[in-house]
Amino acid sequence: MADQNADQNSYANADNPVPTTYSEARRNFSKALIALGIDESEARREAEIALMHVTKSAAHELLLKADSQLLPEQSEAMSEILSQRLLRKPLQYALGETYFMGFKFAVGPGVLIPRPDTEIMVEAILAEINQTPGLKERCNLIEVGAGSGAIVISLLKLCPNLIASVFEISPQAAHFCRINALCHGIYDRLNIIEEDYLTGLPKLTGQFQFDLFSSNPPYIPVDLARDLAPEILLHEPALALVGQGSDGLGFYRQFAQMLPSLPATAKAALLVELGQGQGQEVSAIFEQAGWQDLRLLPDLAGIDRVFAARTGDKII
Ligand code: GLN
């Protein structure tokens, strides 16, 4: 009898899988993650997302179907995702997708997984577009480091008169950005440039003026990078995470110096994401370079997450 019970709780035999209910599948998945040391609420959340993905169900359907059995191929898919998670691969890579601003984005190895905190950036840029006269009718945005395209594609979806150019130096990330732009039907308003912005941006701004500049640059100081969770450290691209210079603020210094010397629209606004505790230093960098209207915007945890400023009239 004891053996029979053990059998019912395993995914074991792929040729003759033991029937598993939705609630068992969910419990087995979260128990395995908790055993790996993952926080209980995170483990439960991941089990729910994995089961929703595999069974193509909405969250409430999981509850309604709690005692229904998974199809054999669904049980197999759950075990396959779990085996990747046990190697500490992020769930989003195992599923090949994630959600940002309510939109679905393809992700995989080589591209940074969009973080919920970054939605603050999108909201701040939307507010800028809606509150600045003329921008709702016509707006040119430049972004450095597009990654999966989560920020810029969300904006293009939400602002029909926005046109954007993005720099993305990583071919893998540019590939995901292109796929996402095509899937979301905004490819005709997005120019993806696979070049270092330091050489590419001066050429581009010689051709037209921009109204907004955005970036979620790598900002984690190199000394802190080794403390990142294994999912991030082992699997996500260091290029998108680890900032330049020992304080990780190299990109902000370059933006502060370089952008005002480019031909831009008068009073173009910059909005950039920040790491925890970087607000004051980043503000000081831009203030010293002559920028105006400096603002720090907090995320839901009260941490300064976005820095916003405008190029002054004089320095354009
Ligand atoms: N917020 C991300 C993290 O903490 C870092 C993103 C970035 O460096 N721009 O993992």
Tell me what the pLDDT averaged over the chain comes to.
Answer: 92
Q: Are residues 294 and 199 in the same domain?
A: yes
Q: Which domain holds residue 153?
A: 98-310
216 lines ligand 1 (CB under 6 A): yes
At 105 the pLDDT is: 98
For atom 9 of ligand 1, which residue has the closest CA?
218
How remote is the CA of residue 294 from the centroid of ligand 1, in Å?
22
Q: CA 89, 91, 117 angle in degrees (round to 5)?
A: 110
211 contacts 269 by C-beta, under 8 angstroms:
yes
In a domain, residue 296? The reply is yes
Q: Are residues 78 and 110 in the same domain?
A: no
In a domain, residue 59? The reply is yes
Sheet containing strand 269-273, strands side by side: 190-193, 162-167, 139-144, 212-215, 269-273, 304-310, 292-298
In a domain, residue 298? The reply is yes
Q: Are residues 58 and 105 in the same domain?
A: no
In a domain, residue 315? The reply is no
Q: Are residues 11 and 151 in the same domain?
A: no
In a domain, residue 188? The reply is yes
Atom of ligand 1 nearest to the CA of 118: 1
Paired residues of 69 in beta bridges: 21
Query: How do residues 140-156 score in pLDDT, each as one tens digit?
Result: 999 999 999 999 999 99
For atom 5 of ligand 1, which residue has the closest CA?
241
**Exposed/middle/buried for 160, CB within 10 Å: 0-12, 13-18, 19+?**
exposed
Q: Are residues 153 and 53 in the same domain?
A: no
Q: Which CATH number belongs to the domain containing residue 208 in this structure?
A: 3.40.50.150
DSSP label of 236: S
Q: Which CATH number belongs to the domain containing residue 60 in this structure?
A: 1.10.8
In a domain, residue 262? The reply is yes
306 lines ligand 1 (CB under 6 A): no
Ligand 1, pocket-test mutation among 98, 151, 231, 273, most atoms within 8 A of CB: 273
In a domain, residue 92? The reply is no
219 lines ligand 1 (CB under 6 A): yes
Residues of the chain with pLDDT under 70: 1-18, 264-266, 313-316
115 lines ligand 1 (CB under 6 A): yes
Q: Are residues 21 and 105 in the same domain?
A: no
Query: How do residues 109-128 score in pLDDT, each as one tens digit?
Result: 999 999 999 999 999 999 99
Query: How do residues 170-197 score in pLDDT, each as one tens digit?
Result: 999 999 999 999 999 999 999 999 999 9
Query: How many angstroms separate the CA atoms of 174 and 149, rounded?
Result: 8
In a domain, residue 93? The reply is no
Atom of ligand 1 nearest to the CA of 145: 9
Split into its structural domains, the chain has a count of 2
How remote is the CA of residue 165 from the centroid of ligand 1, in Å?
22
At 305 the pLDDT is: 97
| Inter-CA distances, 291 with 183, 249, 257, 271, 313, Å | 37, 17, 10, 12, 9
Q: Are residues 83 and 105 in the same domain?
A: no
User: Where does a domain end: 29, 55, 87?
Assistant: 87
Q: Are residues 249 and 230 in the same domain?
A: yes
- Output the pTM of the full model: 0.91
How remote is the CA of residue 232 from the centroid of ligand 1, in Å?
9
How remote is the CA of residue 43 from the centroid of ligand 1, in Å?
21
